[in-house]
Structures are given as structure tokens and as C-alpha cells.
Chains A and B, each alone.
Chain A
Amino acid sequence: MRGVCVGDVIEPQALDGVLRGHGTLLRGNSLVASRCGLVQRWNQLVLVDPLAGGYVAAVGHVVVGRIVQVEPTRWLVDIRSKTLAALPLSTAGGAMHKAAEGAQSSRSVLAEGDLITAEVQAVRADGHIQLHVRDAVASKLPPGMLVEVPAALVRPARKHVLHWREAGLRAVFGCNGAVWIGQEGGFSSLGAEQLRAASELANMVQAMASRGEMLVPARMHMNV
């Protein structure tokens, strides 16, 4: 893995066999980086994977997002990407029946400002992102705080939730760089130790992010 800055030469002689990917430029005969990042080579394809930059959604990513708009059939969610993502009402399960009966509106399930965790179900060619949750009500996050870091530091992994049972905390590391730290389990009252532990974890995440370290919950072991 080679790190490059804008202007660095990747391939001094870019022959016909080389496919130019994102983040590269052809200057004369040589391939030059146009973003700062890591050089990736896949068969003939050479590209630069940028370090900074907004979140690029892909199918299967678990993200933490905020509801910004409520529509009758769906919610629009800010996941720190170029466009808002859509969460259809059909995923709301039981709530959909109530909405159909007119007893409740979609706003009573998820309102503007609410934080949710969801999985990216589909990314269309035009950039439209569709989210999916098992249950809309369960996707709403309990009391907690949000820490925002560069999306590149959180890679999609099997384990994206950190459980810290002794402190009564749970941390969800969204692939979009939104890390939510908050209450584990039911909606019990908040204790001073819980809040202190959460602020320490938040500061640790910020410190790691400012040093450019990857945030991998599977490798984090919490000592109370």
C-alpha cells in the first residue's frame, strides 16, 4: 500500500495495459495522482483511494443517520453523504398497519432529528441511496451522543457494535463515520458513571480520529 499526494507520479510509463481509475490523471506519458490517498491496483486498474472526502455508500454498510425529512411513505435520512438516503415506510413493520388505518402518521414512528442505525440496502446508478431496517421503531437510538469522524476511518466489518456492559454503554460505529455512544439495554435512568465513561470513550474516538487511526470495534477492549 503506497501513500501518495497530489502530483506524485504513480506509473512513470503508463502503457496501454494500464486502466486509469479514480484519483489519477494522465500527464504526458505518466500516471499522476490527483487526490491524496493510497494507491490501489486491481489487475490492470490503478486508482487512488482518497483519505479524506465524504462518505460513499455501498450495499451492506451499517450507518448511523439522522432523520431530516418526514414524508407519508418514507423518511429522508442524513448519512453524511452527497445525497440524503431514503428509508421507506414499508420497513416500519407493525407501524405501517396503524398508518394505513390512519391512527398514526409516519412522524409518530420516527420524527425529524431522531438518530437511527440502518443498513444500506441499495445504491442506484444515479446516486440514490436506499436504507433498510429490521424494524423502524427498534432502529431509533436510545439516549446517547454522536461523535463524527472521517468516514474513511471506519471500514465495514462484521462487528460494528462495541458492547461495554460494565459501564452500561453501547457504541455503534457507522461506516459513514458517525459513531453513536449511548445507553445499553432499556430506557433506564442515566447514571454519572455511565456519562463519564461515555465522554471518555468519545474523547478516545476523537483522539484516534485526529491521528488518522482506524476505528475497529473488534480490537477495542474496554477496561472500566
Chain B
Amino acid sequence: MASPLISAAEVQWITAGVSFNIRNDGRQREDFRALSVQLGVITQATGSARVQLGETDVIVGVKAEIGSPDPDRPDCGRLVFGVECSPVASPAFRGRGGDELSGELARALERSFYPGPSGRAGGVDLSTLSIVSGKTCWVLYVDALLLNIGGNLHDALSVAAKAALADAKIPKVEVVQGEDPTDEPGYEVDDDPQWFSLYLYEPDYEVDDDPQQAQRLDVSRVPLCVTVSQIGAHSVVDLTAQEELCSSASVQVAVDESGVVCGLTKRRQKGVDPSVALEMVEVAQRSAAKLHAALAESLGGQQAQQMSVG
């Protein structure tokens, strides 16, 4: 039914099931649904990925454009996150209906990639995206589109964002001498002796379209987000849309490949005892390891395929 309502009888059933470690679809409390990751689904994008986690379906596209860096971080590039809720996913998203949800999801993604004051401490080392310090850098626009809401959007989006960034092939940029003389000295040039000259020129750049020369991002430190929720007295992972209606407290934990907790957000209206919250974080760490493994397997296979074809 389209309406996001649930009966007390169904809540009782789901809660009883969770207490016995038997969910409606037969999963255990810490089991994820089937995860499917497809890379390169948007050919015009720099990188893209489509992720299906059970019924939940999301696409993330990465577009790399030349832009200027943040004044606070002149040596770094930028990541800009956007999420759109397609009306295909739910009639509630017609017009501006999806703005609140999409804003919340975009902010959550941004936080999991937060690069720190130096710009190097986040999931992606932003200094690798710099072209000319203080003037030019790569800006990666990471845009997500929600195709179907089947519960657990945060986790699906974090997997899709990581996969899309792993798929991204950023064109190689060469900083070369430009035509206009300026007062600005000090830049890197190509080793080719024909470029040395008595004049100091404004640095310019040339973008190389050759995909073989493309720069790949190091996404090994990008964390994945796992949402752990309380149903009754138990912690459950990867909730379906119906199960989400039975839970009133959840914790979103960003965990990287080595199991280190990178971020923590408490969501929803009900409070949890700190000991319970710690348990939930441990559940998240265990589950994140499984999610990282599933994603790595999927990525490894597809990227090997891309290498052999290209």
C-alpha cells in the first residue's frame, strides 16, 4: 500500500520476530539483504554506480569539473554532494515533497566524507584533486537519485557513493605555459625544453581525454555507513520500510575498511541508554565488515573487467 502506515498488530508481529531473531523475510538481526552494485551505468558521467539493497534502488553519478578551491584549503579539490528524490520512488516526492529527506541524506553523506582542516584526513584525500594551488582544482559533483524507497536509504547511498567514486576516471591534467603575461611566478611545467622561456606566463592547463591516462581515486579510506536500529529490545541492521515504522531509535555509524569508527549519529526521537548505544556501535562494526567485503568483491570483479576491455 502506498500509505506509510502500519497496524499495531503488524508491529507486534515484527517485534516478536526480532526477539526470536527471525525477521519477516527470514533474515537474522544482523543480516543484510542481497546487495547488487553496477559500475558505469551513466556513460557521460566521470563515474557512476547503481546499488540495489533489497527493494531499495539508488543511482549515484560523479561529475568532475574544473573549478576553484576553497580559500581555506587552497591545495585541495572539493566534493559537492546532492541527493534527489525521484517522484518515481513515491508520490510524496512530487514537486518539493522530497526536499527535506534529500537535504538530510546529502548532509549525512557530506559528513561521512568530511576532510578535516588540512583537507587530507577524509575518506578521499582532497589534495590529489588540486591542479594549481590556490587557483584551479577538480570539483567532484556527487549526485544521487533515489529510484525506489525500500528502507535503509543511508546505507545504500553510502555504498553507492563509494562505488561511484571508485569508478571515477578523472582526466589527466597538464599544467602548461599560457599565452598571457602576468606577474605571477612559481608553477609546475612540463619537462619539455621547448616550454622554457624568458617570460613568465600565467599558468594554463590542458585536459587529456585519453581514458588510459585517467586518474583513479584512492577510495580505500572511504567509510561505509551502517544504520543500527532498536526494535523492541534488540538491535537490527538493514531495515525494510515496514521495519523502520516499528523502530524509534537508531544510530548511524560510519566505519572504514579496517573497522575504525569514523562517525556517529543518533537519530529518531527515542533516547537510548549509553550502554545500549555502545552495543549498537559494536553491531555496526561487525556488519560494516560484511558490507565492505561484499562491496570489495563486487568492485574487484567489475574493475578487472573494465581493465581487460579498455
Chain B associates with chain A: yes
Chain B contact patch, size range? 20 to 34
List 18 extra interface pairs beyond A115-B9, A145-B14, CB under 8 A: A66-B3, A78-B1, A78-B2, A113-B5, A113-B6, A113-B7, A114-B9, A115-B7, A143-B9, A145-B10, A145-B13, A146-B242, A148-B1, A182-B9, A195-B13, A195-B17, A199-B23, A203-B26
Cα–Cα, bound, A178→B10 (Å) = 14
What residues of A have a CB within 8 angstroms of the CB of B101 in the complex? Answer: none
Contact code string A130-150 (vs B, CB < 8 Å = 1, else 0): 000000000011111110100
A80 within 8 A of B: yes
Q: With A145-B24, A190-B16 given, is the CB distance from A114 to B7 under 8 Å?
A: yes
A202 within 8 A of B: yes
User: Does the CB pair A195–B20 fall under 8 Å?
Assistant: yes
What residues of A have a CB within 8 angstroms of the CB of B10 in the complex? Answer: 115, 143-146
A213 within 8 A of B: no
User: Does the CB pair A199–B6 fall under 8 Å?
Assistant: no
User: Does the CB pair A66–B9 fall under 8 Å?
Assistant: no
B20: nearest chain-A partner, CB-CB? A192
What residues of B have a CB within 8 angstroms of the CB of A178 in the complex? Answer: 1
A182: nearest chain-B partner, CB-CB? B13
What residues of B have a CB within 8 angstroms of the CB of A113 in the complex? Answer: 5-8
What residues of B have a CB within 8 angstroms of the CB of A65 in the complex? Answer: 1
A66: nearest chain-B partner, CB-CB? B1
**B14, B23, B24, most chain A CB atoms within 10 A:** B24
Identify which of residues 11-33 in chain A touch chain B, using a CB-to-CB cut-off of 8 Å: none
User: Does the CB pair A68–B13 fall under 8 Å?
Assistant: no
Q: With A143-B9, A190-B16 given, is the CB distance from A199 to B22 under 8 Å?
A: yes
What residues of A have a CB within 8 angstroms of the CB of B20 in the complex? Answer: 192, 195-196
Residues of A within 8 A of B (CB): 65-66, 68, 78, 80, 112-115, 140-146, 148, 178, 182, 190, 192, 195-196, 198-200, 202-203
Give the 10 A-B CB pairs with smallest separation, nearest first: A113-B5, A199-B26, A192-B20, A190-B16, A143-B13, A143-B9, A143-B12, A78-B1, A113-B7, A195-B17
What residues of B have a CB within 8 angstroms of the CB of A114 in the complex? Answer: 7-9
User: Does the CB pair A202–B24 fall under 8 Å?
Assistant: yes
What residues of A have a CB within 8 angstroms of the CB of B26 in the complex? Answer: 196, 199-200, 202-203
What residues of B have a CB within 8 angstroms of the CB of A115 in the complex? Answer: 7, 9-10
B25 within 8 A of A: yes
Chain A nearest CB from B214 CB (Å) reads 39
Chain A nearest CB from B231 CB (Å) reads 13
User: Does the CB pair B24–A112 fall under 8 Å?
Assistant: no
Contact code string B17-42 (vs A, CB < 8 Å = 1, else 0): 10010111110000000000000000
Chain A nearest CB from B121 CB (Å) reads 44
Cα–Cα, bound, A141→B7 (Å) = 9
User: Does the CB pair B25–A195 fall under 8 Å?
Assistant: no
Cβ-neighbour of A195 out of B3, B5, B6, B16 (below 8 A): B16
Chain B nearest CB from A213 CB (Å) reads 19
User: Does the CB pair B3–A142 fall under 8 Å?
Assistant: no
Chain B nearest CB from A199 CB (Å) reads 4
What residues of B have a CB within 8 angstroms of the CB of A68 in the complex? Answer: 1, 3, 5
What residues of B have a CB within 8 angstroms of the CB of A202 in the complex? Answer: 24-26
Q: Can you name 22 A-B residue pairings with CB atoms under 8 Å?
A: A66-B1, A78-B1, A112-B5, A113-B5, A113-B7, A113-B8, A115-B7, A143-B9, A143-B10, A144-B9, A145-B10, A145-B24, A146-B10, A182-B13, A192-B20, A195-B13, A195-B20, A196-B22, A199-B17, A199-B23, A199-B26, A202-B24
